[in-house]
Amino acid sequence: MEVIIQPDADRAATLAARLIAARLRDKPDLVLGLATGRTMERVYARLAEMHEGGGLDFSRAQSFNLDEYIGLSARDERSYRHYMNRHLFARVNIDLAHTHLLDGTAPDLKAEAVRYEALIRTAGGIDLQLLGIGEAGHIGFNEPLSALMSRTRDKALTPTTLKQNAAMFGGDLEKVPKRALTMGVGTILDARELLVLVTGAAKAEILARAVEGPITAMVSASAIQLHPSCKVIADEDAAGRLRGRDYYDWIFRNEPEWAAFRD
Ligand code: GLP
């Protein structure tokens, strides 16, 4: 794992977008794993700008999102399908038929999870999985005690997550769906590369536990320590509780793979 700390949220998101763009240029038929949440809005805005500027082609790319609320249809503006269409898909030249999300209205949720896993396999697996971390320590919607080998399935959301996401539902906790479909921790770890973006002081404690704490199902984000190719990008506020800071900064300043991203 490598941890790259940037001065602010904007710079952190820009670096994440530049990394995604570099992978897409190297492999135009990239299979991207995508995440939602406020943290990612800036990343998608940067990618859209790069596309509009003529430098980024999504025409052969495919995408798989991490999760979706159960009970919300694609037309519901609070659904993650709607979020993705709004923030990214409508702004770049990706073929909508190549963008995949779990269907939160599927009548048989287990069958939907099996379908999604099969679809990822058929696509050849995910090349680059973008991840945020929730205040409950989750990646996707893998709430505490999610098995580190779990696959795509339905999960009940914790009170912490319901509270964190209530803003998208007019601040009304009662309106937040109580369950979601999510890739499992094992599904996420199967991706060939992980890119984790974490910003803001509210995430400082959970980021330190994910990156430097013991690997535990209580913090599903700590499973990223098991992945052989994982990059974490944080802003100063989120990095406030990390103990290995000096070494992380040294890596960014000195390792050749980061040379193109230092300015
Ligand atoms: C949400 C999503 C996660 C996301 C996380 C952080 O609940 N299921 O995929 O990464 O929580 O959200 P935010 O960026 O809004 O803090």
> What sign for the dihedral angle of Cα 9, 78, 21, 252?
positive
pLDDT of residue 55: 83
Q: Which of 164, 185, 187, 233 to mutate to test the pocket of ligand 1 (most atoms within 8 A of CB)?
A: 164
Q: Which stretches within the chain are classed as H helix?
A: 9-26, 38-52, 80-87, 109-122, 159-165, 185-189, 204-212, 236-239, 245-254
Contact (CB, 8 A) for 42 and 137: no
Dist CA 114 CA 132 (whole Å):
24
- Is 134 near ligand 1, meaning CB less than 6 Å away? yes
Q: What is the pLDDT of residues 78-117, one digit of tens each?
A: 999 999 999 999 999 999 999 999 999 999 999 999 999 9
> What sign for the dihedral angle of Cα 232, 154, 42, 10?
negative
CA of 94 from ligand 1 middle (Å) equals: 23
**Atom 11 (ligand 1): residue with closest C-alpha?**
134
- Is 150 near ligand 1, meaning CB less than 6 Å away? no
Contact (CB, 8 A) for 178 and 221: no
**Atom 5 (ligand 1): residue with closest C-alpha?**
134
**Atom 13 (ligand 1): residue with closest C-alpha?**
37
Residue 114's nearest CA partner among 63, 178, 67, 183 is: 183
pLDDT of residue 171: 95
pTM: 0.97
- 10-residue block means of pLDDT along the chain (263 residues)? 98 98 98 98 98 95 98 96 98 98 98 98 98 96 98 97 94 96 98 99 98 98 98 98 97 96 88
CA of 177 from ligand 1 middle (Å) equals: 14
- Is 66 near ligand 1, meaning CB less than 6 Å away? yes
Residue 182 amino acid letter: T
